[in-house]
Chains A and B, each alone.
Chain A
Amino acid sequence: MIYLDNAATTPVDPQVLEVVNESMRRDFANSGAVYRLGLDAKNRVEAAREEIASLLRLPSQFRTVFTSGGSESNNLFIKGLCFPDKKTACLGLEHPSVTEILDYFKSLGNDGPRLANREGRLDLDSIPILKENRVRLLCLSHVNNELGAVNDPARILSALAVGSPQTRLFLDGVQAVGKLSIKPEFWNGLAGYSISAHKINGPKGIGLLVYDSRLTLTPLIHGGKQQSGLRSGTLPVPLILGMAKSMRLSIERLKETQEHLRKLRRRLIEGLRDLSGRLDNLDIRFNSSTLDDVEIQSPAIVNFSFPPVEGEVLLHHLEERDVFVGLGSACSAHSREPSKILTGIGLTEDEARCSLRVSFGRQNTEDEIEVFLREFARAHQTLYPTFQHKHAEK
């Protein structure tokens, strides 16, 4: 099996599995209990929290809240800060757990602007719109989940400081952690950041919200006042320890992983270009940047189109050969609507349907990329006549 859909989720690292397993057996007590079993569990949670804070080099005013994952972190921060009437803005290219919140706000009469993008990144020229609309919070993906396009927070924050100083910046960092480096100055000026463990070889069902504690958030879940009342609910101690382990591994191995992913990515792009040159009926168009620069483009994602063959059908043909790739956000893979992200960067609906997302993890090898290229070409050649026919009918 060749798994190339690591932006959807990743396999759990054996070392993480061991930590979770051991903790499942040992840390069964409620970390809110006052006897020593509970206190031990609580101490392990707090040690994990500190470990993560130090791995992320978080300044002391930042607070961390464990959540069920990226979607909940995005909801907790954006709704917690802006519900119901504070103006928010985005590009419309973010994960649905961001864009759907803004649509929900709109249904309440709180309609924030959608800003222009250049190839999936914020167009800095549109910042004055934030000031005109008195936008309180700008929500962006640090790394776009379908394209891998990077929004560089340092550049955006300095542009905001000049063009719209009252607007704070929130980043969905789910696709960035473990792929891009996070330097201490990264946090200067940032309002909030969300992270998910299962994208970095950790367990599903656990994530983190990092935010500037000077901001006041209203909780989504009320209850036993765990985590300073911000996110009530008994803490899943084993998942938290597993998340800390996966973050340690991914951040410690960052340089090595980045190099590896860049190598895989270069080989895939080169291979696709080569196929495109050799096969008359194959015309590959890259939707993500082909530049080998982590400031602009994540090394883990390649998104490309090959009209008139539809991505979903090609995906099933690859699946038959045990090769698994993505269509875009897994949450929308079942929808018949083409990707809003691809149409959002200017593709037509037909072009958007004829695309695939290949996303690498550190377990992938160069040999696997060769197999992918071979199987992709084979499936494309099988399907081309069918889709050419359909295209001609139109």
Chain B
Amino acid sequence: MSRPRIVLVRYDEIGLKGKNRSFFESRLIDHIRRKLADMEGVRYRRPRGRILVDIDETQVDECVRRLRMIPGIVSFSVGVPIRPDVDSIAELGIQWIEPLLASGKPLTFYARTQRSDKTFPITSPDFSYQVGAKILQKLHDKGLSAEFKTPEFVLEIEIGHEETVAFQGRVPGIRGLPVSSGGEVLTLLSGGIDSPVAAFMVIRRGCRSHFVFFDNQAFLGRGGFDKTHRLAKIVNRYQWGGRLCVVPFGNLQTAIRDLCTPAHRVVLYRRMMYRIAHALAEKYGCLALVTGESIGQVASQTLENLAAVSCTVPLSVFRPLIGMDKKDIIDEAKKIGTYDVSIEPHPDCCSVFMPPNPAIRSKVDQLEADEERYPWKDLMREAIENMQVFDLDRS
């Protein structure tokens, strides 16, 4: 029988949410349950201001890996349930600290106690002092000393009504708010570096993101779809319940290329992408679109062109990367694990669809005149009818 462990999950920001706190807490615990669903014997508790997850020693590594991907968690610690007496806790502290002194290098430490059980007979500072003194007595000769401001090792003790837990170290979470506490959004995913980062940033603020990818397999093959599907699955690990909609876009692109002003092509493609995304957002109850656009990055992302695409939809368009530098976006993509997939070489648009000189400042009335020249409503309906939808939790 392996030994029990307790994971203490902290969520500061939710703690500030007043009367809605219970709602946020239940969303967070729901996500944790889903993430750990396949781990046997896991139990959950919700004493005030904390979520406690009971696991056993063999599950620690996997549990830590998964909790690090859950929005809403500020930090967590894996602790040992223990009797609330000074001797037992000091003994555990000695067990943890002694190996760290084996190299002969001195170490500073501090014991810190928190009591949610105020009926406990010893005050927190006294309890910390007594535990600390016992440990120091045993290990002082081996190089251990007490340090209150910046200790290298902190032994933390939480004395609760039901039980006492001792732990050391805090694993940082990704912070933010629990998924699905903020509603649903639809991210336009391209296969590049930016859009997965944009989706992640909104997911971290408590929104569930679905994804739409505009595909043209007849010209580009299946490589773009495979890549985008992989990116969507990686981002979906930070949430659950995401869908990927793959919309065939070849006929629209061909019509625009053949019938409209060449310089307007890219903006016209994007206006159709926004319109289709809007229709899908309505279908799936999404309240906003999310894109990876950032000012001036490419010709279609000038202020004029951004405005010329946004005005096609009566829906909020979130662009979390709008003011970010490319390098910072890349760093973030590396952190969330999408970068290596994003840089796999695959063209996102066939060269035959690109105009020789794209317009930098498109005028909406001219774009509308172009749109009179091809049956965009019919082509849009056809594209949505032929769309494929993938459940990212399963596929």
Contact = CB atoms under 8 A, between A and B. Distances in A.
Whether A associates with B in a native complex is yes
Interface of A: 310, 313, 315-317, 319-320, 334-336, 386-387, 389-390, 393-394
Nearest to A332: B345
Given A334-B223, A389-B257, A389-B258, A313 B347 contact: no
Given A316-B219, A336-B345, A394 B257 contact: no
A387 B347 CA distance: 17
8 contacts: A313-B352, A315-B221, A334-B223, A334-B344, A334-B345, A334-B346, A387-B352, A394-B356
B298 interface: no
Contact of A319 (B221, B344, B356): B221
Q: Interface on chain A toward B: helix, strand, loop, or mixed SS? A: helix
Contacts of A319: 221
B351 interface: yes
A336 B344 CA distance: 12
Contacts of A386: 254, 257, 352
Nearest to A308: B352
A389 to B, nearest CB: 7
B218 interface: yes
B234 interface: no
Nearest to B347: A336
Residue from B257, B351, B352, B355 whose CB has the most chain A CB atoms within 10 Å: B352
A310 B356 contact: no
B220 A393 contact: no
Main secondary structure of the interface of B (DSSP, over half): helix
B356 A393 contact: yes
B15 interface: no
Interface string B250-263: 00001001100010
A335 B218 contact: no
B102 interface: no
A313 B356 contact: no
Nearest to B356: A393
A336 B262 CA distance: 22
Nearest to A379: B218
Nearest to B355: A393
Given A313-B352, A390-B352, A320 B347 contact: no
A393 B358 CA distance: 13
A387 B219 CA distance: 12
A316 B221 CA distance: 5
Nearest to A390: B352
Nearest to B262: A393
A316 B218 contact: yes
Interface in B145-174: none
A393 B261 CA distance: 11
A336 B221 CA distance: 14
Nearest to B219: A313
9 shortest interchain CB distances as A-B pairs: A334-B345, A316-B221, A390-B352, A313-B219, A393-B356, A386-B352, A316-B219, A335-B345, A316-B218
